[in-house]
């Protein structure tokens, strides 16, 4: 059996002690970040909290279908696909071209990872400019950011190992 057909975890078994827990941690943080409130808004006597999911539902109910779809894909679908791609890259036996293609996809997905955190941050700053409206970040945004950062660091770690395997000897 060629060494190139071994899964990365088989070639670097001790690194699994880093990769597996960080993928799991990213998934847990992502779930919490999507379901817990990410922001709290107060306007005179009206107040509410929004999670990513309730925000998407609210956009959909307000007929903001394009925006709801964009937020759904960038906030929910892309991060899940990225974690699945990371697990695939680490645990499955892939041919060199499959591994390279998956690394390219991870790179593309990674470029969009922090988009939601930036959008919420901009929203908080913009709305704080109004004297009658208060918007504050909530715990969900920190979990979401933690999930993205954790998956980014794991991706960088796995990419470094995958490139080491790809180098000709």
Lowest mean pLDDT among 3-7, 123-127, 152-156: 123-127
End-to-end CA distance of the chain: 17
Name, in order, each residue with C-beta under 8 angstroms of 51's C-beta and a sequence gap of 6 or more. 34, 35, 36, 37, 38, 140
Residue spans of the domains in the chain: they are 3-166
pTM exceeds 0.95: no
pLDDT at residue 2, rounded to an integer: 47
pLDDT tens readout for residues 104-120? 888 887 777 767 667 66
pLDDT-based confidence at 158, cuts 50/70/90?
very high
In the chain, pLDDT over 90 holds for what percent of residues? 43
Residues 6+ apart with CB under 8 A from 55: 38, 71
Question: Which of the pair, 169 or 78, is modelled with greater confidence?
Answer: 78
CATH number listed for the domain at residues 3-166: 1.20.140
Residue 24 has pLDDT above 70, yes or no: yes
Name the nearest CA neighbour of 52 among 153, 127, 147, 133: 147
């Amino acid at each position: 059996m060629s060494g190139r057909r071994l899964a990365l975890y088989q070639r670097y078994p001790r690194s699994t002690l880093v990769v597996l827990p960080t993928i799991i941690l990213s998934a847990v943080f992502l779930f919490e970040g999507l379901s817990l409130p990410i922001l709290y808004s107060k306007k005179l006597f009206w107040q509410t909290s929004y999670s990513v999911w309730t925000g998407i539902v609210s956009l959909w109910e307000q007929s903001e279908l394009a925006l709801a779809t964009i937020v759904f894909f960038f906030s929910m679908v892309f991060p899940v696909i990225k974690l699945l791609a990371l697990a695939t890259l680490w645990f499955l036996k892939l041919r060199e071209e499959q591994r390279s293609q998956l690394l390219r996809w991870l790179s593309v997905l990674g470029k969009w990872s922090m988009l939601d955190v930036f959008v919420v941050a901009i929203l908080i700053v913009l709305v704080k400019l109004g004297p009658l409206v208060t918007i504050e970040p909530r715990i969900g945004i920190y979990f979401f950011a933690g999930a993205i950062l954790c998956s980014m660091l794991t991706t960088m770690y796995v990419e470094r190992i995958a490139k080491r395997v790809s180098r000709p000897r």
